[in-house]
Structure 1
Amino acid sequence: MKLWLGKKPLVLASQSRARQTLLANAGIDFEAIPAELDERAVQQASGMTSPGEVAALLAREKSLSVSSRLPDRLVVGADQTLALGSRLFSKPAGRAQAAEQLRALAGGVHELHSAVAVARDGKILFAAATSARMTMRKLDEADIEAYLDEAGDAATSSVGAYQLEGLGVHLFERIEGDYFTILGLPLLQLLAFLRRERLLGV
């Protein structure tokens, strides 16, 4: 049985390894073509401050950006924001900023908002958003330094300075939400859409 029924592979408008791995593990034929988008500029121009709305906006804009360059292709855009109360986090610029983010998050609850959008020929066909609540355990300076030593460059490749699928799992005591949301792609919702479009064989 062939799982992916589309005439051409799905297009993922992302260079995220986590998102690519999720699609690959789900047996979806896809190619990754990152969107050439200044995310901060798009966010600022929109005037949006709600973390969930920002994630949804950027997912849509990514899918539309790549879709406009690839006629008749189904393009998936995705984005994720991390919010501690009203504070939005971005990827840390270096080790010092990663440590600062961990100090801010340690011992508290923050939220991850993940969004997905699917476009074809410059039109949004589907969009969904999900959230997860993450309770990070209390960390002292020694804990933070030991984690950053072990995590290396991975600490600066993700917002919040952690990757739950890797060493970041050691930082948490409670998680409320699904795994795919935490990795930055509402996969179950995306698969349901593809199934409705008769693009999946199962």
Structure 2
Amino acid sequence: MSKPVIYLASASPRRRELLTQIGVPFELVRCEIDETPLPGEHPRAYVARLAAAKAAAGVATYRAQGLPQRLLLSADTTVALGTQILGKPVDAADACDMLRTLSGTVHEVYTGVAISDGERTETVVSTTEVRFRSVSEADIIAYVATGEPMDKAGSYGAQGRGALLIDSLEGSFSGVVGLPLTETGDLLRVFGYPLW
């Protein structure tokens, strides 16, 4: 039996790969929102707010296009050192600065996931603790030169060469990549989606 197609309101290729991994068919829906953190906003609240806002924008988009109503999934990931939010770098110098800041630290990766049926939206936030090794300046420069950090929160990708920077993590690896699969599955179940 084929599973119902959902909408994915995300441009992330990693989220597409993760949904494909668990066998959830999807169609992409564009959504544009302002991702500026609010003054004093905690990173956990920030990703929950953005995931919900992306869901609302995605629902508005598919309705405006006259597309059929379906479940819609959106997500947002950020890296945080304490309450400091480390988003995507604006350029290579910014990426190097972020990696210097994270070197030798234990920090958190928060991923908010939202699912909407067009009437109701449910959200969940995954928190993973990541322990970075002390990274040399030469390694930071070489890693940034690969281009991998440029579209990733915190300037590293745990699923790519950035794995060389990580000593350990406690929590959801897929959450660090961009979509915590256990939590996503739980949310899909809330809406009666057949996972198997």
TM-score for both structures, normalised by structure 2: 0.90
2:46 aligned to which of 32, 50, 54: 54
Give 1:119 deviation, angstroms.
1.3
Q: State whether residues 83 and 89 of structure 1, in contact with CA within 8 Å, keep that contact through their aligned partners in structure 2.
A: yes
Q: State whether residues 128 and 186 of structure 1, in contact with CA within 8 Å, keep that contact through their aligned partners in structure 2.
A: no
Give 1:77 deviation, angstroms.
1.3
Cross-structure match for 1:13: 9
Q: State whether residues 105 and 136 of structure 1, in contact with CA within 8 Å, keep that contact through their aligned partners in structure 2.
A: yes
1:70 aligned to which of 62, 67, 70: 62
Amino-acid identity (%): 31
SS class of match (1:102): helix
Cross-structure match for 2:66: none
Q: State whether residues 71 and 115 of structure 2, in contact with CA within 8 Å, keep that contact through their aligned partners in structure 1.
A: yes
Q: Which runs of 5+ in 2 are unaligned?
A: 64-68
- Rounded to whole Å, the distance in 1 between the matches of 2:116 and 2:40 is 22
Q: Which runs of 5+ in 1 are unaligned?
A: none
- Rounded to whole Å, the distance in 1 between the matches of 2:172 and 2:195 is 24
Cross-structure match for 1:99: 96
Cross-structure match for 2:183: 189
2:78 aligned to which of 78, 81, 90: 81
Q: Would the alpha carbon gap of residues 94 and 78 (structure 1) be closer, same or farther in structure 2, given more than 3 Å must change?
A: same
The count of aligned residue pairs is: 191
SS class of match (1:27): coil
Give 1:25 deviation, angstroms.
1.4
Q: What RMSD, in angstroms, separates the aligned Cα atoms of the two structures?
A: 1.6
1:115-154, Cα deviation, whole Å (9 max, x unpaired):
1111122x333211110011110012112122223xx222
TM-score for both structures, normalised by structure 1: 0.88
- Rounded to whole Å, the distance in 2 between the matches of 1:188 and 1:201 is 11
- Rounded to whole Å, the distance in 1 between the matches of 2:181 and 2:28 is 16
- Rounded to whole Å, the distance in 2 between the matches of 1:197 and 1:86 is 32
- Rounded to whole Å, the distance in 2 between the matches of 1:169 and 1:139 is 12
